[in-house]
Structure 1
Amino acid sequence: MRTGPTRKSGIALRLIGWLSALLIVFWLAAAGLGLIVMRGEFDEIFDSGLQQAAARLAPVVAANLGGIKISPPAPLPDEADDYLVYQVRDHAGAVLMQSHAEHSAAFDIPLVAGFFEDRDYRYYTIAIGDTFVQVADSLAHRREATLESAATLLLPIVLLLPLGILVVFGVVRRSMVPVEILRAEISAKDGGNLDPVGVSDLPSELQPIGASVNLMLSRLRAALDAEREFTANSAHELRTPLAGALAQTQLLLRELQATPQEARVVQIQQSLTRLATLTEKLLQLSRAEAGIGAADRVTDLVPALDMVVGDFERTARWRGLVRYERSAGAELMRAVDPDAFAIVIRNLIENALIHGERAGEVGVVLERDAIRITNGGPVVSRDTLVAVRRRFARGNTGGQGTGLGLAIVDRLLEHMGGKLTLSSPAPGRADGVEARVTL
């Protein structure tokens, strides 16, 4: 099963993600290490408290029980908590004294001096002869102290982490601004915009990239200028001799009428006519590549459209074949060069006349938001409609075109900010092709 291309995340998003993750990991690791050290220190403090409590009880027990057998005293009053409890036991394990009534049962630990620990308490035992003082500290108390300390340590981290991530986001986005500016400038470069990118404000790490891009643009600009100059100069140089040769051929044709050589002269005239047409298209292409199309001010393009349609009506070959309609309220006020617009419309009408139905009408309709040029003829496949927009590409028609008309139109409309849409069959018909121009 085919899957579509995955959308790769940008550098800024990756940096923000990695830095935020590292920030979280480092803070949590620091908090974890802090808790481990804190837990060790707490154990030392509590163990020291156990030892000190047992040491203070030992003299009292020695003074009261030294060699005198006494009955166990009444239990001491219960305290507010039982974090620290103690018992005094004889060598047989009997409890002689305890701190809390609920701890009257003897501790279930051996009568051995030192530390001992079970599930609930940690004990410390001191031996005074045959008497043992045992002090117990609640492990729940220690865990509670550790949890409270952990909460106190982690709460600021939880509150500061979003702030830290926002700071990382802001720093990364601010640091990526020069990269984004450079990316935007490079992405705006095309055949009509080869101005160098600005490198003076770029960071030192990006300046070599900007310089390399400018060097590449300068070489590309020189190559394109040379190509356009060659095309324009060649067309200009060919126009005059072609016009002279065509005129001489027409004179020769008059002299050779009704002779065996007449057919050959007609073929020469047709070849020269096609060559003159190709020369004119090459001149238009060079102008289109030079970037004409957009204008500095808004212009009414309707007179240019009327003039182009009128030129076809005045041409004997096409007289009566162009049907021109203008919708009510339709206007063409655009910031577009009228000459470039006229070239676009002329090429589209010529294309429709040459490749449409032989001696068939071509409809030109000016609407509020578009210009539609429609011709009859067989339905053209979508692939062919895409292919004929390339230079020197021709469809499967009997028309003798140059293969440059639609390429010129596409290039000019690109500079105008317009769009050409080809449809077949034409909307509202079962055949034909419609060219729709929107500006």
Structure 2
Amino acid sequence: MPTTASMTRRLAIALTSVVAIFWFVALGLGVYVMQDEFTEIFDSGVQETAERLLIIVANNEARDASGRPVEAAVLAPALNSQYLTYQVRDSNGMVLYADGAQEPFAVPLSAGFSQTATHRIYTAATTDGTLFVQVADALDHRSEALMEGGTALLLPLLLLIPGSIAAIIFVVRGTLSPVAQLRDEIHTKDGGNLAPIDESALPKELRAIARSVNSLLARLKSALEAEREFTSNSAHELRTPIAGALAQTQRLLSEVPPAFHQRTAQIERALLHLGRLAEKLLQMSRAEAGIGISDERADLLPVLMVVVQDLERSPLGASRLNVKVEDGTALERSVRADAFAIVLRNLIENALIHSPPQSPVDVHIDINGIRVTNDSALIEPDVLVNLTKRFTRGPTEASGSGLGLAIVKRLVEQMHGQLLIASPARGMTQGFEVEIRL
């Protein structure tokens, strides 16, 4: 899928293109005006030169007729032979004097401007029509002057385009910085961070957007709180009847004849499994509601100790937990305490359930997070990668729902942490290890 160009890039390209187009239009108009003005200037110079030469030549011919000496060299300084050439012709078209081409110009002997493929020619004539002076200006000279003028207008454009791009990007980025700030603020909002956006630092054009986002966040926060309250109440309401049914079944087991013990024990196991499954499903529901992140930082070590002490008092974890906290460790994170407790309880319970009876379970805590290690058979890599999926279990005969690691993964993702699982555990030839980096 093609990537969407940024507003800065679009504005830079659009504004630079508009400036360049207007500059090219101005360049075209400037060249057109220069061509017209250059034509007038060059024609005026050619005409003035021809008329002055005519006076000189006519006076020279008059002196020659009276017998006075003639100095023809006085005609040459009046012309710049680099650009202009001239011819003095009689009424028959014969060339009397010439500077440059000796062949008569291929234009009629009539006063005014004429043009060939290579020259612009002005013809000046005496009143009696006996002498004609023709001054020719090369068209290449005019084209060269026009080209140099157009180039002088085009060269600034080569500096204007990159300069405009840099200036526009600088200005646009500064102008759009509040938009980027608002985008970053919205990006941080999730189920755990629903604090309203500060509108005071935003320009008035963006305050309406911020108010709309704040209104949406308020409604979302209310909905999430209602969902969390519902799941919490549901957990209590489900546990109570299941615990009651389990208690009645256990009492019944002690009262029924031995012939019914097996069936009653099956009912007891089914109720125990139902209770654990209901608890896991409610935990998954809470995890999906986004309870992982908190607006405030909390010290998680006391939560860890409460969970460990609670499990140590249970028959499953009695005398099996080895907890090691490295010196100077402080687990202060923007994480909800109840969500962290759910993660820890699932990890340690899984380690206790899926390891050999009475085998130790190590809980290691350092500044980066928590690592839980237990003894178990080696788990193949293709099975290992699927253990965090819902209702997926490894090669074990222990009871379970296959939701523990899925709940842990969901909550750790909300905490912006990382869940790592490995088998064998580090320093062992077998075993299972789960590490949470926060």
* TM bracket, shorter-chain basis: 0.7 to 0.9
Measured in 2, the distance between the counterparts of 1:108 and 1:140 equals 17
Change in Cα spacing, 1:111 to 1:44, as seen in structure 2 (3 Å) is same
Which amino acid in 2 is paired with 1:255? E
Change in Cα spacing, 1:395 to 1:176, as seen in structure 2 (3 Å) is farther
Q: Which residue of 1 aligns with 2:46?
A: 50
Shift of 1:39: 1.6
Measured in 1, the distance between the counterparts of 2:365 and 2:206 equals 53
Change in Cα spacing, 1:80 to 1:47, as seen in structure 2 (3 Å) is closer
Tell me whether 1:180 sits opposite 2:180 in the alignment.
yes
Moved more, 11-20 or 169-178: 169-178
Measured in 2, the distance between the counterparts of 1:23 and 1:12 equals 16
The counterpart of 2:109, out of the listed 82, 89, 112, is: 112
Tell me whether 1:271 sits opposite 2:267 in the alignment.
no
Change in Cα spacing, 1:109 to 1:423, as seen in structure 2 (3 Å) is farther
Shift of 1:24: 1.8
- Does the residue aligned with 1:176 lie in a helix, a strand or coil? helix
The counterpart of 2:121, out of the listed 114, 120, 123, is: 123
- Does the residue aligned with 1:123 lie in a helix, a strand or coil? strand
Measured in 1, the distance between the counterparts of 2:300 and 2:185 equals 32
Change in Cα spacing, 1:186 to 1:366, as seen in structure 2 (3 Å) is closer
Change in Cα spacing, 1:226 to 1:393, as seen in structure 2 (3 Å) is farther
Alignment of 1:189-204 (within 5 A): 189-195=189-195, 201=202
- Does the residue aligned with 1:249 lie in a helix, a strand or coil? helix
The counterpart of 2:14, out of the listed 18, 26, 32, is: 18
- Does the residue aligned with 2:229 lie in a helix, a strand or coil? helix
2:195 and 2:295 in contact (8 A); partners too:
no
Shift of 1:348: 0.7
Alignment of 1:153-232 (within 5 A): 153-195=153-195, 201=202, 207=208, 217=217, 220-232=220-232
- Superposed CA deviations along residues 241-267 of structure 1, whole A, max 9, x for unmatched, are 3333333332222223x6112122222
- Superposed CA deviations along residues 288-323 of structure 1, whole A, max 9, x for unmatched, are 54635547456371x544554444444323445444
Q: Which residue of 1 aligns with 2:260?
A: 261
Which amino acid in 2 is paired with 1:12? T
Q: Which residue of 1 aligns with 2:97?
A: 97
Change in Cα spacing, 1:334 to 1:199, as seen in structure 2 (3 Å) is closer
Measured in 2, the distance between the counterparts of 1:9 and 1:284 equals 42
Shift of 1:400: 2.7
Measured in 2, the distance between the counterparts of 1:146 and 1:170 equals 37
Moved more, 229-238 or 53-62: 53-62
- Does the residue aligned with 2:192 lie in a helix, a strand or coil? coil
Shift of 1:326: 5.0
Shift of 1:193: 3.3
Measured in 2, the distance between the counterparts of 1:293 and 1:390 equals 22
Q: Which residue of 2 aligns with 1:145?
A: 145
Shift of 1:386: 5.5
- Does the residue aligned with 1:261 lie in a helix, a strand or coil? helix
Alignment of 1:185-334 (within 5 A): 185-195=185-195, 201=202, 207=208, 217=217, 220-256=220-256, 259-281=258-280, 284-285=283-284, 288=287, 289=289, 291=291, 294=294, 296=296, 299=299, 301=301, 304-325=303-324, 329=327, 331-334=329-332
Which amino acid in 2 is paired with 1:145? A
Change in Cα spacing, 1:426 to 1:286, as seen in structure 2 (3 Å) is same
Q: Percent identity?
A: 44
Measured in 1, the distance between the counterparts of 2:421 and 2:17 equals 52
Gaps in structure 1 of 5+ consecutive residues: none
Alignment of 1:71-86 (within 5 A): 73-76=71-74, 77-78=76-77, 82-86=82-86
Q: CA RMSD in A?
A: 3.8
Shift of 1:436: 0.9
Shift of 1:171: 4.1
- Superposed CA deviations along residues 216-260 of structure 1, whole A, max 9, x for unmatched, are 65555454444333221111122333333333332222223x611
Change in Cα spacing, 1:378 to 1:6, as seen in structure 2 (3 Å) is farther
Q: Which residue of 1 aligns with 2:400?
A: 401
Shift of 1:197: 5.4
Gaps in structure 2 of 5+ consecutive residues: none
The TM-score, its normalising length taken from structure 2, stands at 0.79
Shift of 1:134: 0.7
Q: Which residue of 1 aligns with 2:388?
A: 389
Number of aligned residue pairs: 426
Q: Which residue of 2 aligns with 1:87?
A: 87
Q: Which residue of 1 aligns with 2:352?
A: 353
1:374 and 1:433 in contact (8 A); partners too:
yes
Which amino acid in 2 is paired with 1:105? Q
Shift of 1:111: 4.6
Moved more, 217-226 or 345-354: 217-226
Change in Cα spacing, 1:34 to 1:297, as seen in structure 2 (3 Å) is same
Q: Which residue of 1 aligns with 2:37?
A: 41
Change in Cα spacing, 1:238 to 1:91, as seen in structure 2 (3 Å) is same
Which amino acid in 2 is paired with 1:164? S
Which amino acid in 1 is paired with 2:154? L
- Does the residue aligned with 2:258 lie in a helix, a strand or coil? coil
